[in-house]
């Protein structure tokens, strides 16, 4: 009989942000309230350099981890933060970590239940959601002194374009033992893909936030 795995939710939340100032403070409650509905998490950790979010974490009885400054920069990868957490908190290599970005405020429980079922499989190492890209790389150009096709091709029919997907962190979970094998965006060739057939709301600017709040009132 397989031993029951432990699941830890990680909320990365830097204090500084460029597009929307203090966006993680503004958006924190949406993800926090959602996580309170999920009963299988053994622990919820807020990894931040913001004292404001430390107080917010206490209100929801989440654990707060004061992340290193080197992993709180805008050019720090999410993988490096996860490695820091695993090392400093001595997280068991057989545990499963879940990533929750605050910039994705709307989540559906059924999607995460689906991923939870995937993590129960013996072969599970990591999983990530994927969406259809808004533009195809075949149609992209590099504009410098001369224009150059990003991917050299002369494909002109839509049906001849290779079907492609873009990774998205709406759903993201992985075994700690797999972490060092993942790339900076937390996936590799063994990652189980979950294809999403819906639009995902992301908030990175004042315009995004205003549109989100406006639609919530409808």
Q: Which stretch of 37-41, 47-51, 145-149, 212-216 has the lowest confidence by average pLDDT?
A: 212-216
15 CB burial (10 A radius; 0-12, 13-18, 19+): middle
Q: What is the pLDDT of residue 4?
A: 65
Residue 84 has pLDDT above 90, yes or no: yes
pLDDT in tens, 152-211: 999 999 899 999 999 999 999 999 999 999 999 999 999 999 999 999 999 999 999 999
pLDDT value of position 123: 94
Map out the domains of the chain with their CATH numbers: 7-131+164-217 (3.90.550.10)
The pLDDT of residue 19 is above 90? no
Location of structure tokens 């029951």: 4
Q: In the predicted model, is pLDDT for residue 3 greater than 60?
A: no
Q: pLDDT grade, residue 1 (50/70/90)?
A: very low
**Across residues 44-55, what is the average pLDDT?**
96
What percent of the chain is predicted at pLDDT more than 90?
88
Query: Average pLDDT for residues 98-104, to the nearest whole number?
Result: 97
> For residue 218, what pLDDT is reported?
65
Let me know: does 200 contact 169? Beta carbons within 8 Å. no
Question: Measuring CA to CA, how many Å separate 215 from each of 31, 77, 86, 107, 210?
Answer: 17, 31, 38, 15, 9
Q: Who contacts 91 (Cβ-Cβ below 8 Å, separation ≥6)?
A: 8, 85, 97, 176
Please report which confidence band the pLDDT of residue 18 belongs to, taking 50, 70 and 90 as the band edges: confident
Q: Any idea which residue has 């315009």 for tokens?
A: 207
Distance from the Cα of residue 192 to its chain's centroid:
15
95 vs 93: CA distance, rounded Å: 6
Q: Are 199 and 134 in contact (CB under 8 A)?
A: no
């Amino acid at each position: 009989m397989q031993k029951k795995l432990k699941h830890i939710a990680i909320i990365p939340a830097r204090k500084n942000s460029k597009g929307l100032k203090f966006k993680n403070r503004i958006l924190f409650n949406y993800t926090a309230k959602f996580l309170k509905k999920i009963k299988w998490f053994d622990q919820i950790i807020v990894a931040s350099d913001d004292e404001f979010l430390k107080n917010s974490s206490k209100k929801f009885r989440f654990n707060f981890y004061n992340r290193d400054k080197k992993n709180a920069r805008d050019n720090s990868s999410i993988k490096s933060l996860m490695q820091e957490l695993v090392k400093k908190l001595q997280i068991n290599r057989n545990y499963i970590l879940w990533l929750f970005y605050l910039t994705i405020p709307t989540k559906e429980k059924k999607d995460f239940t689906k991923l939870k079922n995937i993590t129960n499989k013996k072969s599970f190492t990591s999983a990530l959601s994927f969406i259809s890209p808004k533009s195809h790389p075949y149609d992209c150009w590099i504009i410098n002194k001369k224009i150059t096709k990003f991917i050299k091709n002369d494909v002109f029919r839509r049906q001849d374009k290779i079907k492609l997907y873009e990774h998205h962190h709406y759903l993201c979970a992985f075994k700690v033992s797999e972490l060092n094998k993942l790339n900076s965006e937390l996936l590799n060739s063994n990652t189980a893909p979950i294809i999403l057939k819906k639009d995902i709301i992301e908030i990175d600017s004042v315009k995004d936030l205003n549109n989100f709040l406006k639609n919530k009132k409808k």
